[in-house]
Structure 1
């Protein structure tokens, strides 16, 4: 199972496969045809409360990841996660985000969960 994470502002590449936008809001300054996004499951993003808590510096990345995984276990998010997992089982999937910190944000949590389910 090939799952990778890239910034949505980077030019799409042929090896991206299915491009899944994992942000709740559309990235600023980016035209939809330039992004080449195939899926946009907004329900996979962290809740506004969790996002505010983490960005306010109130907790560690590990605690954020634990709380986010709990949110992803909720029925709607779990169904969307299964959909992306199914796409990844058929071919490469690239999770795209506007976030600058790919290693300590929700993209890394999602990628790890998808890779561990293979």
Structure 2
């Protein structure tokens, strides 16, 4: 599937989001946001067989051959089996995280560059 199709599909289904990485998130939450890997491990716990997923993809001794993005797609498939959506589950995890610290530059950037999105 092409990247353009995936972006278009995400936009049409209201699933398009910016993913800036945990470094950015950590900077504006006083290091309280989970890393991408930690977030995926938490999502594994919501599946029918969390141990299998964690053993296959997050075992410290055996590095997964898949990227974290590919692992997220597999987790989504597993969440689908129990009627859960990865986007909604991520939202429920991160919604409790509060912004902390000085980040006026970030607010100004968002207002200036993302107006209308």
Q: Same fold (TM over 0.5)?
A: no
TM-score (norm 2): 0.30
Task: State the structure with more CA Rg.
Answer: 2
> Whose strand proportion is higher, 1 or 2?
1
